[in-house]
Amino acid sequence: MATLSLSRLDKNYGSFHAVKGIDLDVADGEFVALVGPSGCGKSTTLRMIAGLEDITSGDIRIGDRVVNDLPPRDRNISMVFQSYALYPHMTVGENMGFTLKIAGRGKAEIAEAVAKAARVLEIEALLDRRPAQLSGGQRQRVAMGRAIVRDPDVFLFDEPLSNLDAKLRGQMRTEIKELHARLESTIVYVTHDQVEAMTLADRIVIMKDGRIEQVGSPDEVFNRPATQFVAGFIGSPPMNMADARVVGGNLRLSDEAELPLPPGVAAQDGQNVVLGLRPDDIYPQGHGIHTEGGDAVEPRDLTVKLSEPLGNETLLFVDFGGKGWTARMLNPRIVKRGEVLGFHMDLSRAHLFDAETGRSLRTE
């Protein structure tokens, strides 16, 4: 196992600037997830780490070696592809043992390593099959097995679960987490599923347009998003965002709707801002997630336009300040359309972003 460090990493495809100066340090044994919308450069970054893509400028270090120009085979990494990329002309066992065979290891040693990995992933019964005879989930396991057998310094995953159905995805997610705990390996994991990133990673890297927006623990990126983009990307259902203007110490959402300025933010009078409030922080009185009733709680009577009962909670859709908001109701009761409820908006948990730069205006 080893550390991984990217500094000022750049990638141009002709005139297209796909990755723009990325800096990232991954500690030994750390699980880092790269997330971001489609086309933001996640795969490109991963492929540069793997050596499958030339880097335009910058440095990549694995352990204490600069690997910028080394071919993939000399970087001691392994990678699980989104497509799995199993060798169709080899059996599962041969697929997993291929790396050792190329390294010139003996038959017995290969068989032992393959058997061990197969035991970990519970695919011992499949070793003699060909990839074509496997289900999607089994192929996924084999692809992971192939990566494990290599015993690399760094594991790279490129959206390994995106081809699986929701249930299997949840199951494999747990298994990857267990695997990481067991192998204590350094992992860089690309996904566009924020739930995967939140549940698996020690730290999350949120990318946008080839740049890093924020790096932080799941708790940090969720509770202290550095930008409006991060705030909107992390969390489900997504954070409510409303354009507002700071007028006389208040937030004016529209002519008839105003809220007090949330505590702990620095905003000038007349500044255009975006207010962000998670659905968790708007709730009918008595149905909130967090301790209710602090100083910064704003009561409002709002009309429910639509309710989505999910069993343990109900999502309520309301209008406020000329905008639709999603609210979350815990311990739900049946709410009818058109019903007027007393909502609490917990502004102590609200976020404020500069409308121009999108940067958070929180000071604490």
Q: Which residues bind another protein (CB under 8 A)?
A: 50-52, 71-73, 77-79, 81, 83-89, 98-99, 102-103, 130-134, 136, 139-140, 146, 150, 163
Nearer to Mg ion, 43 or 360 (CB): 43
Beta strands in 248-296 (DSSP E): 250-254, 257-260, 272-277, 282-284
- Residues 281 to 300: which contact ligand ATP by CB under 6 A? none
Nearer to Mg ion, 34 or 149 (CB): 34
Smallest separation, CB 74 to another protein (Å) = 9
For residue 259, the one-letter residue type is L
Smallest separation, CB 119 to ligand ATP (Å) = 32
- List helix spans (H) across the chain: 42-50, 92-102, 107-121, 136-149, 166-183, 194-200, 218-223, 228-233
The helix/strand/coil state of 137 is: helix
Q: To 5 degrees, how large is the angle CA 188–CA 192–CA 193? A: 100
CB atoms within 10 A of CB 120: 18
Q: How far is CA 42 from the centre of its chain?
A: 11
Nearer to Mg ion, 147 or 282 (CB): 147
Nearer to another protein, 132 or 166 (CB): 132
Q: Give the range of 42-50, 69-77, 140-148, 218-226 binding ligand ATP by CB under 6 A.
A: 42-50
For residue 296, the one-letter residue type is A
Nearer to another protein, 158 or 280 (CB): 158
Closest residue to ligand ATP, judged by C-beta, is 43
Cα atoms in the Cβ-side hemisphere of radius 13 Å centred on 245: 5
Asked if residue 43 binds Mg ion (CB under 5 A), the reply is: yes
CA dist 219 and 187 (Å) reads: 19
Nearer to Mg ion, 43 or 194 (CB): 43
Q: 41 touches which of Mg ion, another protein, ligand ATP, none (CB within 5 to 8 A by kind)?
A: ligand ATP
Binding interface with ligand ATP (CB under 6 A): 13, 16, 18, 36, 38-44, 192
Binding interface with Mg ion (CB under 5 A): 43
